[in-house]
Amino acid sequence: MEKQSYQYIENPLHVTRREFITIGGIVAAFLALPAVWIKMVTSSNNNYILARTKGLYRDDEKASIRVSHANKSVARYYKEFGGEPLGHLSHELLHTKYINRTKGLS
Amino acid sequence: MISQKTILKHPLSVRIFHYLLILSFLPLAVTGVFLYFKPLSESAMNLTMQIHVVAGVVLTLDAIAFFLIGFNRVVLFLKRIFYFSINDIKWFAILGGYPQKILLRKKVVVPSMGKYNSGQKLFGICVLIGGTILIFTGWILWALPHLMPREAVSLLGTLHTFFAWVLTLFLLVHLFLGIYMFDDFKAMILHGKIPYDEAKEMAPLWVEKEIISISENSY
């Protein structure tokens, strides 16, 4: 508890009710602006994602080969060269490793 | 004769808010400058970023808590910093008499000021607007960049850097003048009180219009 060793304070009624409501309303309106902006940009961002998803599904429906194990080229690769899926040679040739590229980007 | 009477200028809630502001904004400013110039090794820069984020979270919580708990003081602060008169122009014309006082040891007549002088009002506006933008942009850049379009994130990054520099440079002036006005410095850091005579000289309009004796306060 604060010890009252002072003789004067600010008048607690220095702000009138009308001023309080006006200033409080302006603050609330200003704080709502970023929320509206975020809603706008994120919803348009989601539109791109939705359009991309729709395009991928459409391409998939149209494709004659829709799964990798039905792909004749892949089957031929394993039969004539790669051996078996997840085999040693396929692992060496087809799997990628993590490389930190952040330095190159910055 | 100098009176021993004092005014409670900074109540405990304001002082706690200010302590947390010091604890969060100073590390934010220092780490922010390091993050801008990137002078350290990769691991040290990672640590710098982590400190920046933690201090940013503390600043956010401090601001939200004060906004909710001390909303009446936020309103009062806004009323004061956005109230301008002809005295503010006159004050800026002589920069509050500080250059004359500090550099030439000469005292000039300064227009009557309220609780905040014109420079403090300008600083208050920068802190309010800049601080809000920094918190807002900082959170999006750190936690939510994947939700925003790339152009929007880039714009927020530029805004964050711009206002960070404005507030960091203003902070240097604030620290200097804050300590130079030593009674006010002690009031904000220690006990909240300022001598009545000092307040009457520095902020005559505040003392005249807004200050009441405790015995009058019987609401």
Residue indicated by tokens 């998939």: A60
Query: Which residue ranges form the domains of chain B, and what is each CATH number?
Result: 9-212 (1.20.950.20)
Using DSSP's 3-state secondary structure scheme, residue B195 falls into strand
Q: Do B152 and A6 touch (CB under 8 A)?
A: no
Using DSSP's 3-state secondary structure scheme, residue B2 falls into coil
Give B170-192 pLDDT, tens digit per residue.
999 999 988 888 888 999 999 89
Give the pLDDT score at B219.
47
Give the pLDDT score at A4.
62
Q: Is the pLDDT of residue B28 over 90?
A: yes
What is the number of other CB atoms lying within 10 angstroms of the CB of residue B79? 16
Give B60-77 pLDDT, tens digit per residue.
999 999 999 988 889 989
Q: Which of B32-36, B104-108, B128-132 has the lowest mean pLDDT?
A: B104-108
Q: What is the mean pLDDT of chain A?
A: 85
CA separation, residue B114 to residues A79, B77, B86 (Å): 88, 12, 13
Residues of A in contact with B210 (CB under 8 A): 10-11, 14
The one-letter amino acid code at B54 reads V
Give the pLDDT score at A105.
65
Give the pLDDT score at A1.
47
- CB of A4 within 8 Å of a chain B CB? The answer is yes
**A100: which 2 tokens?**
């930190």
Q: Do B152 and A41 touch (CB under 8 A)?
A: yes
- Give the pLDDT mean for A16-21: 89
Q: Which residues of B touch A (CB under 8 A)?
A: 5-9, 11-12, 71-72, 74-76, 78-79, 115, 132, 136, 140, 147-149, 152, 191-193, 196, 209-214, 217, 219
Q: Which of B15, B68, B78, B209 to mutate to test the interface with A (most CBs of A within 10 A)?
A: B78
- Whether residue B56 contacts residue B24, with contact meaning beta carbons closer than 8 Å, is answered with yes
